[in-house]
Structure 1
C-alpha cells in the first residue's frame, strides 16, 4: 500500500457541593523515579499505573489491529497507530468486489488523530472501510497487508462486523467474509480486535478501567509548520493518556517546586491524548543522540482525584540503547 507522508486539579474548595463530602487532603508524597521499557525496537506497548508505577499490562505491537469504544449509543473504532496503520472509506460500488492494487492505492487513506477521536471514527451499520494493517514490527519496511471491514450492526451492546480481503489481481473473484461480534465489556474502556493472518479475533489487551493511567507506545503523529494544519504523518515514540477520565496540563512556565505548591486551574486541563506526547525529547542529527527536556513539567489528574507532577528524565537504558523511558512522578 502506498501512502504520502513520513512518518492536573488541586482546586481548593471553600465549601462543598450540597450532599457531597469533601475529599480528604492527602499529604504530598515523595518523588519517585521509574521507567517504562519499550525495548530498543520500541516493540511493546505498556499500560502503566501512575500511583504504583506498575506496568499493569504489556503486549507486542502486532497483538491487535483495531479497538472499539462503546459510549452511550455510539461505537468508535481506533487503529493501532504504532504500526502506521491507515484507513479509507469505501463506497457502495466497491464494498462487495475485490479492488485492484491501483484502485486501493487511489483511496482516500488517512490516520487517526493522536489527540483523540473524531466523527470519522464512528462505527455505523452500512459503512465499509479499507484498512491498511501497517508495518511488520519484525521488518518495518514490510507491509502486513490490508483488509476490508463492513459494519452490519452497531449499538450500545455490540458491533457486528464482517471482514474480507481487499485486493486481488483477479478482481472477478468472489469475496470470502468472516463475521465477528465485538461485545461491549463494561470492565474495560476499549475492546481490541486482531485482524492478522486472515483471521478476526477479539483479543485480551487492555486491563480493567481504573487500574491504569498512561499508555507508553509508538504512535503516528501529525506534524506541520507552526500555524498550519499538521498533515505530515510520522511514527514517534512517547506517551498517550486515553485512559478513562485522565486529564493533563502542560504549564507554559514555572518549575517543579512551583507546580508542587500552587493550585491547578480547572480551566487549563486538557483531555487530549497526546499532551505528554513525544516532543519531550529531541534528536541531534550531528551527534546521533537524543536529549531530554527535563524542564518540561506535566500535571496529571485521575478520576479518583489523585494529582501527579510528571517529567521525563531519560530515553536510554544502562547499555546505551534507546527505548527505556525514565520519568519522575510526585503525588501531591
Structure 2
C-alpha cells in the first residue's frame, strides 16, 4: 500500500514536470516572432472542425464535420491545399439510420494581403466523396464534386494562425461546409523563426551603432551666402518716380491707346463708306438702264399704234371698224399715260 502511494506520488510529479516542459516548449516555439504572414515556399497543416448542412433535397440532417488539410504556397498569393473531411449524418425520413461521408479533394487558394496579420483568401477545387449507409438512402456510393468559397487566416505568430472557412459543395449531395480551426505554417522565405533578442545582443547592437556614429565623417559646415545689403530708404525713395511723373506716364499711355482706337475706327469707317458709295452708284446705273429700256419699248408701241389706222383706211375698212379702232387707240393712250406717271423722274 505504501509502495502504491509512493508510486502515485512519483507519477504525479513526473506528469507535472512533463506538462511544464510542454508549456515551456510551446512558449519558446511561438515567442520567436510576433507577426506572421503567408510566404513563398511555405507548407501548412490545418486541423479544423465545423458543420455540414445539406441543401434539403437529400433529406439529411446537419451534422458535424472533421477536416484535416495540408497546403503549399507557390508564391505569396497563390497556393494549393489537399483536404480530407469526415462526417456522420442521419436521415430525416428514416429514423435510426445514419449515413457516413468521407470527402477528399484538392483546392487552389489565392491570398489577399499576404504580408498582414489578417489574410483573407478565396478558394475553388474539386474531388470526390464516398457515402456509406442503407441502400434506401444512398443510391450511389462514390461521387465527384466541385466546391468554391473563401475564408480568412489571422496570424497570432509566424507559426500559428486562426482560420475560418466556408465552402459550397456542388454535387449530387450538395451542401454548405463551414469550419473553424488553426493553421500551423512552417518553412517559406519569410517564415523562418527569428531568435528572440537577448540583453547581450541588444548591448552589442547599441555598441556597434555608437561606433558607427563615431567613425562617420562629420559634415563640414558650409558658409551661408551673403545677402546683398538692403538699399537705404533715401535711395529707394529717389528711385521711385514722383506723382507728377506717374501722371505724365499714365496720360501718355492713355493718349497712345486712344489714338490707336481712333485710327482703327477711322480706317474701318472709310472702308465701309467706300463700299456704300460703290453700291449706290451701281444701283443708280441699273435704274438708268431700266428707265431707258422702258421708254424705248413705249416709243415703239406708240409708233405701231399710230401706223395702224392709216393702213386700215387704205384698205377700205368700214366706219364702224374705224370707230372701234379709235376707241381702242384711246384706251391704249390712257394706259401709256398711266405707265409714264408711274415711272420715276430721270436723274
Same fold by TM-score greater than 0.5:
no
Structure in which a larger fraction of residues adopt strand: 1
Interval of TM-score (by shorter of Structure 1 and Structure 2) = under 0.3
Higher RCO by CA contacts (8 Å cutoff, separation 6 or greater): 1
Larger Rg: 2
Structure in which a larger fraction of residues adopt helix: 2
